[in-house]
Amino acid sequence: MTKIAIIEDDTTLRNELAHILELQDFLCVACDDFVDADHWLVSEVPDCVIVDLGLPGNDGLSICRAFRAQSQVPIMVLTASDSEFDEIMAMGLGADDYLTKPYRPAVLLAHLQAALRRAGQNSQVSYRAIVHRGVEFNSAKGTVSFGGRTIELSRNEQRILDVLMSSPGQIVTRQELICKLWDTDDFIDDNTLTVNVNRVRKQLAALGAPDDFLQTKRGQGYLV
């Protein structure tokens, strides 16, 4: 049974969320010790995490960062904050998705199912290394290398480079990337893709890759 870990301090909302998920045959576990939430997550071994941002004694951003350093399990932020800054920070620290309260159950379930499908696909893909202009993407290790340096990538960073580097010199539209990352073109804020692409650019810049390696073609999409 698919296990969902819920980190939410509002008891009513937490119980409501668990009820909705359990009706869809998910197994739900809830965190009570928010200070030690990242260690709790590791011990629970969930298939997906749903986490709030504002928590007593801790915050969801810190939990995203700490857990992502130890696991590639999908992380969904569910919060009352519609701040663009919070969303960018969450995605930058390892969250795979960002939803705001009040949420619509059908939309939340669609996002959750997509996250789980992506995780399942990542465990079944045919792993390979792709090299383009000196940049090497290794899908088996989830890394990108250049000039003798290597960086580990988040799941979304891996998928973006995989799609783009599989078609070097060809423009990949934003819609194509959205479908590849989230298995749907519904319910996805266009800004979320921009955040993820910018994260890839920062990783490439940290390696010293050419500034024009990942290019934006305005009104069209991206290419390498």
Contacts of 41 (CB under 8 A, 6+ apart): 5, 7, 31, 49, 63, 67, 71, 73
Q: Quote the tokens at residue 35.
A: 């200070």
User: Is residue 149 located within the same domain as residue 174?
Assistant: yes
User: Is residue 101 located within the same domain as residue 160?
Assistant: no
User: Is residue 72 located within the same domain as residue 167?
Assistant: no
Average pLDDT over residues 153-176: 87
User: Is residue 75 located within the same domain as residue 146?
Assistant: no
Domain encompassing residue 65: 3-122
**Pick from 137, 94, 127, 118: which is nearest to 224 by CA?**
137
Q: How far is the C-alpha of 26 from the C-alpha of 215, rounded, in Å?
A: 41
CATH number, position 20: 3.40.50.2300
- Please state whether beta strands 48-51 and 3-7 pair in parallel, antiparallel, or not at all (unpaired): parallel
Average pLDDT over residues 182-209: 79
Q: Is the pLDDT of residue 148 over 70?
A: yes
Q: How far is the C-alpha of 75 from the C-alpha of 62, rounded, in Å?
A: 12
Among 122, 141, 170, the domain-final residue is 122
User: Is residue 117 located within the same domain as residue 148?
Assistant: no
User: Is residue 157 located within the same domain as residue 178?
Assistant: yes
Q: How far is the C-alpha of 199 from the C-alpha of 206, rounded, in Å?
A: 11
User: Is residue 135 located within the same domain as residue 195?
Assistant: yes
Query: Over the stretch 49-66, which tens digit does the pLDDT of each residue have?
Result: 999 998 998 889 999 988
Query: Over the stretch 3-29, which tens digit does the pLDDT of each residue have?
Result: 999 999 999 999 999 999 998 889 999
User: Is residue 202 located within the same domain as residue 219?
Assistant: yes
Q: C-alpha angle with apex 141: 139 to 144, nearest 5 degrees?
A: 70
Beta bridge partners of 78: 99
Q: Is the pLDDT of residue 189 over 70?
A: no
Give the pLDDT confidence score for residue 216 in this predicted structure. Answer: 93
User: Is residue 84 located within the same domain as residue 139?
Assistant: no
Q: Is the pLDDT of residue 185 over 70?
A: no
168 with 222: CB under 8 angstroms? no
Among 122, 154, 175, the domain-final residue is 122
